Each structure stands twice: as structure tokens, then as C-alpha cells.
Amino acid sequence: MEKTLPQCFVDSFLRVRYAETDSMGIVYHTNYLVWMEVGRTDYFRQMGFTYRDLENQYKLFTPLIEVNCRYLAPAVYDDEILVRTYVKQFNRRLVRFGYEIYRVNENYKLCEGESAHLVVDRERKRSSFPEKVLSAFQKHIYNRKDEASEC
Amino acid sequence: MEKTLPQCFVDSFLRVRYAETDSMGIVYHTNYLVWMEVGRTDYFRQMGFTYRDLENQYKLFTPLIEVNCRYLAPAVYDDEILVRTYVKQFNRRLVRFGYEIYRVNENYKLCEGESAHLVVDRERKRSSFPEKVLSAFQKHIYNRKDEASEC
Amino acid sequence: MEKTLPQCFVDSFLRVRYAETDSMGIVYHTNYLVWMEVGRTDYFRQMGFTYRDLENQYKLFTPLIEVNCRYLAPAVYDDEILVRTYVKQFNRRLVRFGYEIYRVNENYKLCEGESAHLVVDRERKRSSFPEKVLSAFQKHIYNRKDEASEC
Amino acid sequence: MEKTLPQCFVDSFLRVRYAETDSMGIVYHTNYLVWMEVGRTDYFRQMGFTYRDLENQYKLFTPLIEVNCRYLAPAVYDDEILVRTYVKQFNRRLVRFGYEIYRVNENYKLCEGESAHLVVDRERKRSSFPEKVLSAFQKHIYNRKDEASEC
């Protein structure tokens, strides 16, 4: 993998839906991965454009090629959740997001994971991010580094 | 509504997934509606072609305009489920399916409902079923009437 | 049904997740019903306590006995959604919620529906709302009538 | 990790639901993980008892502590899917399942992954599999080794 990038988090807040729980009384494990998708959407928006635009204007898509998640503690219905999303790796053809998910109340970490995405066109052929997106990633990660203590 | 059609059921069997339960310990209510979709898919296949073909070959889609469900008893994880699907109404531009859902073991009815679907093209403009589909509906409903005691 | 209640809406905002779309390119129909659940949760919270408390403190649950939805227009990924929830009917043993769901941008109505819920205890026996909840419903619906032009 | 176990697959077949697709026209990535759950359920049943019994009789649960998936090719609506489940590691307190998921028609591998599960009791305290379950795992994995060419 490329050198480690500064961890510039984009934060998303959401509340656990009843639909997301299972009969163990806790959130069904795949829903944390859906929340990561919420985090990615917010990450793109934070960079100054939307993932929807990437699909609609550039006809580019970013299907997953890998996902993993380590579960530390369960969330339950109505918990307020914080999803912290950052970019672990990016280049023209691939982006790898990292995630940390917390219960807001006790600032308790529930899980952490990552997802890797290829860039493909409408025919699902390998493609690459447009210059605009690449420089947005760059700017977002390195500029925030200078401004915020966290990055 | 048009005159009542003979109730020619197409039967689908499935098993409740853990993912489909909620923290009340029972199946989350929208999953019965997903099972109705399984029933529709099987209904089309039973008629001699697939709903996938309708989309891929004819570029026609059947979005819902209405759904309802009355819940009588809950299913739980690992229950074996029977979905009985029939056509309540159909014409060139609309099809209305009815459903009865049972727990297989005790032949216990869990819910019943219906869904109404328009026919639209790729631009989501109103369209109509091709002749082949209409006659398949017709044949399926009225032929089976003569052959099976149920119809 | 009992006499018509004043329509005191509680408003919830959410954004369409990629996970909620289907291969027709629009939101899969059952997800609107999940958003109605988000609306119910907010409705309870707005009344001054949480549905989670109803389950945890009172050991009461409100399973659905009926749901319906009429679909007028589709939502797509990343749309901002407004769910307007109100109470159509309530008494000790039953509550019926109504919903209107809009795309925020054009204030366009996407669907409307309702859900009816029984009150049951942990053994799934019929029970009734505690006095505190009943009076909260009452207060919420009739007080807001006097204060807000909408109610 | 412990020594490598013989790969005794339990096979599950299912068909892609419309509900499982997303607006990229393919199966949304978390649904493969739900299918892995279907595989686990079948694995337990194949061993001679059900995971439901583990919960209901023994009051034991097996929440995930880790999941990962590598995606090779997408499935689409109505594809027939084969989930091949095997045990990668097991002891009193933990079981790790491996999965390979195929499109049945071309025998094409769509993804592969694994999930690790702890054994906990109703209070979510660490517990261990009952002897009966352990010996069923043992028997299932090693007996099939002798009988089937695959194991």
C-alpha cells in the first residue's frame, strides 16, 4: 500500500432504526457496512461535490472490491451513532476508505473497518477518477491537515 | 375493479433469515413485502418466462403504485414460509397481485396483502404489457382453472 | 374509525442511501415503510419520551397489524427526504399513524400511507398504553392544535 | 490460527431478489454477507441440529466479531446463487466460517469471505459451545473427510 495518509475524518451522525436490529436485540452486522456507505456519501459531499454527480455527470461508478469490519460492541435501537470516515489510500483507479463507528453517548467505539473501491464506467470497464475528483481528494486530505489539529 | 379472477396460486417456499428479524424477536414487517416480491418473480417464471426478460428484452418495468398488508401472526428466524401468489386484476397497463403468507409447519396464515403495478418504459412513461405477456397471464389463470381443483 | 384528529405533523429528514435503491434506479418500495418507522420514532420523541422507553421501561411493544402505501413518484439515491408523521387514531390498545413522504427539493409528494399498531406485552398478549403515554398523545395532538396554525 | 481444517463445504442455493439489487444494477454489497448467514444456518442444520436450537435451548448466541469479503464479479437480479460454507477454525469459544459464492450458471465465483463468531450467553458474557455442538462440528468436518472426495 502507499504511504499512510493523514487521517482526515468526515463525521456522519445517524440514529439506529428498528429495521436495522435483529432478534439478538442488537444491530444486524451488515448494517454497520451500510452506515459506512452513509459515511462515504458524506465524505464526497464534504469534498465539494457529490458521489451522485460522479455517477450522473461522469458516468463513473465505484463498486466495492473488498470490505472488512471488526466488531467491538453492539449498537441497539435508537442509539445515536457517529461514523468517522477517512481515506486510507487513493489514486486514479482506486480509493480505500477507513471507518470508525461510535455510539455517541459514551463515545464508545462499536466497530472499525475499511472498504476498497475500483473506478469503472457504465460497461463496468476499469476507468479512472477525473482530475477534478483527484485534486479534491488531495486538497481535502492535505489542506485539512494544515488547518485542523486532527489532520 | 374488474370481475374477480379465479385464484390460481403460485407457491414459493423460503426460510426466514436472521437478517429479516428485529429486536422484537420476530420478522420485521417490511420483509413480508420482500417475500411477496419473491412470489411475483416465481409467478412470472411459472407463466413460462421471467420478469428479468420483461426488463431486459422488452425494456419494460412494473413499479408499484400501491401495497398493503394485514398482519395476523409473526414469523421468527428459521421458520419455513409459504408465499401463495395470485393475480387479482390485470390488463394491458396494470397488474394487481394478491398474496397469502403461511408458516409451513402449522399451515398458519401470517399475513395477506396485495400490490398494484403499472407498466412503464425506460423513461418511466406509461406503457403496456406485450401481447405475449398478456396471453400468458390469460392462459395461466384460465387454463389452470380447468385443470386444477383450486383454480 | 373514531372521529378525525387534527393533523399534527412531526417532521423527519433523511437522505436516500445507496443501499435503499434497486436496479430500476429508484428506491425499493419497502424502504419508504422503513422511513415511516423513522417518522414514528421521531413522533414518540417529540411527545416527550422515546419508543425505546416504552419497550425498556414498560415492557410494551407495538407490532403492526396493517400497513399500506400509495406510491406517487420515486426517490433516487442521495435525495433529501421529508417524512411527515401524524396520528390518525389512538386509544388505549391501538395507534394508527399516517404519513406523507416528500422529496425536499421540489416539495414533491412521493407517497402516503398509514400503519396500525396494537399494544402487546412481552408475551405478545394484548395490553394497553400506560396513562402517561395516552395523555402525551392527547396533549401533543390537541395542544399543538391551539398553538400551531397547522394543527 | 489453528492448523488448517479440511474444507467440507455445505452448499446453499438461492435466487437474487430485486430488493437485493441497487441502482448500479447489481447486488448491493452487504447482501452477499446476508447470504453467508444463509450458509451458516444451513451448515448448522447439516450437522444435525439448528442454530435456532442453539439460541432457544442453550440460550447461546454467536455474534460476529469480524467479517470480510473480496468481491470478484457482481450478481444481478434473478441470478441463481450457490453459497459454499465451510469451517475454517473452531474451538469451545469461537467459530470461523469461510464462504465462496458462485453464480450457478457459469459456475463463476462472485466473492469469497469469512466471518468469526464468539459464543456468548443471554447477558452477552463469553461462553462456550456445549459438548454436543463441538462434537457435531468435529464429526461433520472429519467424518466427511473420509467419505467425500472433497473433504
ipTM of the complex: 0.93
Indicate whether B5 pLDDT > 90.
no
Residues of chain D with pLDDT under 70: 1-3, 144-151
Confidence of residue B106 (pLDDT cuts 50, 70, 90): confident
| Structural domain boundaries enclosing D75 | 10-146
- For residue B150, what pLDDT is reported? 54
Q: If you average pLDDT over residues C53-76, what whole number do you get?
A: 97
Indicate the residue type of A140.
H
Q: Does B74 touch chain C (CB under 8 A)?
A: yes
Q: Pick C17's closest partner by Cβ from A37, A50, A55.
A: A37
Instruction: Answer with the residue of higher pLDDT: A6 or A26.
Output: A26
Q: Pick D63's closest partner by Cβ from A24, A65, A68.
A: A24
| Distance of alpha carbon B85 from alpha carbon B43, whole angstroms | 7
- D135 assigned to some structural domain: yes
Q: If you average pLDDT over residues C18-39, what whole number do you get?
A: 98
Q: Does A17 touch chain C (CB under 8 A)?
A: yes
B13, B14, B15: best to mutate for the D interface, most D CBs within 10 A: B15
Cβ separation of B22 and A26 shorter than 8 Å? no
Cβ separation of A19 and C37 shorter than 8 Å? yes
Cβ separation of B66 and C64 shorter than 8 Å? no
| Chain B partners within 8 Å of A21 (Cβ) | 22-23
Are B50 and B44 contacting, i.e. CB atoms less than 8 angstroms apart? yes
A23, A29, A55, A68: best to mutate for the D interface, most D CBs within 10 A: A29
| Chain D partners within 8 Å of B38 (Cβ) | 15, 17
- CA D67 and chain centroid, separation: 11
**Nearest by Cα to B34 from B14, B54, B11, B48:** B14
- D28 assigned to some structural domain: yes
Are B102 and B24 contacting, i.e. CB atoms less than 8 angstroms apart? no
**Nearest by Cα to B86 from B3, B5, B143:** B5
Cβ separation of D29 and A65 shorter than 8 Å? no
- Grid coordinates belonging to B140: 395461466
Per the listing, cell 466497530 goes with A111
Confidence of residue C22 (pLDDT cuts 50, 70, 90): very high
Indicate the residue type of D108.
Y
Q: Measured between CA atoms, how close is C150 to chain B, in angstroms?
A: 28
**B2 CB neighbour count, 10 Å cutoff:** 9
| Chain B partners within 8 Å of C116 (Cβ) | none
| Distance of alpha carbon D129 from alpha carbon D135, whole angstroms | 10
Q: Does A67 touch chain C (CB under 8 A)?
A: no
| Distance of alpha carbon B150 from alpha carbon B40, whole angstroms | 19
| Distance of alpha carbon C38 from alpha carbon C36, whole angstroms | 5
- For residue D144, what pLDDT is reported? 64
- For residue B131, what pLDDT is reported? 95
**Nearest by Cα to B104 from B133, B122, B130, B82:** B82
Chains in contact with C, where contact requires at least 3 CB pairs less than 8 Å apart: A, B, D
Q: If you average pLDDT over residues C42-54, what whole number do you get?
A: 94
Cβ separation of C38 and A17 shorter than 8 Å? yes
The DSSP symbol for B4 reads P
Q: Does D41 touch chain B (CB under 8 A)?
A: yes
- B5 assigned to some structural domain: no
Indicate whether C133 pLDDT > 50.
yes
Q: Measured between CA atoms, how close is C34 to chain D, in angstroms?
A: 13
- C141 assigned to some structural domain: yes
| Distance of alpha carbon C27 from alpha carbon C29, whole angstroms | 6
| Number of folded domains that form chain D | 1
- C4 assigned to some structural domain: no
Cβ separation of A71 and D65 shorter than 8 Å? yes
The least confident of A42-46, A72-76, D7-11, D115-119 is D7-11
Q: If you average pLDDT over residues B119-147, what whole number do you get?
A: 88
- Is A22 one of the annotated active-site residues of the chain? yes
Q: Does C34 touch chain B (CB under 8 A)?
A: yes
Are A78 and A68 contacting, i.e. CB atoms less than 8 angstroms apart? no
Are D110 and D75 contacting, i.e. CB atoms less than 8 angstroms apart? yes
CATH number at D22 reads 3.10.129.10
> For B66-93, how does the pLDDT look when each residue is reduced to its tens digit (9 = 90+)?
999 999 999 999 999 999 999 999 999 9
What b/e string do you get for D43-58 counting C-beta neighbours within 10 Å, with b at 16 or more?
A: bbbbbeebbbebbeeb
| Chain B partners within 8 Å of C26 (Cβ) | 63
Q: What is the CA radius of gyration of chain D?
A: 16
Are A141 and A151 contacting, i.e. CB atoms less than 8 angstroms apart? yes
Q: Measured between CA atoms, how close is D79 to chain B, in angstroms?
A: 10
- For residue C145, what pLDDT is reported? 55
Indicate whether A2 pLDDT > 80.
no
| Chain B partners within 8 Å of A28 (Cβ) | 18-19
What's the pTM? Answer: 0.95
| Distance of alpha carbon A98 from alpha carbon D101, whole angstroms | 25
Q: What percent of chain C has pLDDT over 90?
A: 83
D40, D41, D44, D81: best to mutate for the B interface, most B CBs within 10 A: D41
D17, D18, D21, D22: best to mutate for the C interface, most C CBs within 10 A: D22
Show the CA angle centred on residue B139, arms to residues B133 and B140, nearest 5°.
Answer: 90
The DSSP symbol for A57 reads T
What strands, in cross-sheet order, belong to the sheet with D80-91? A10-15, A80-91, A94-103, A108-118, A64-71, D64-71, D108-118, D94-103, D80-91, D10-15
Are B124 and B69 contacting, i.e. CB atoms less than 8 angstroms apart? no
- CA C105 and chain centroid, separation: 21
- CA B104 and chain centroid, separation: 18
Q: If you average pLDDT over residues A69-85, what whole number do you get?
A: 98
Indicate whether B31 pLDDT > 60.
yes
Indicate whether A63 pLDDT > 50.
yes
- D115 assigned to some structural domain: yes
Q: Does D65 touch chain A (CB under 8 A)?
A: yes
- A2 assigned to some structural domain: no
| Distance of alpha carbon C125 from alpha carbon C121, whole angstroms | 5
- For residue A14, what pLDDT is reported? 98
Confidence of residue A56 (pLDDT cuts 50, 70, 90): very high
DSSP 3-state of D3? coil
Confidence of residue B141 (pLDDT cuts 50, 70, 90): confident
- A1 assigned to some structural domain: no
Per the listing, cell 395476523 goes with B72
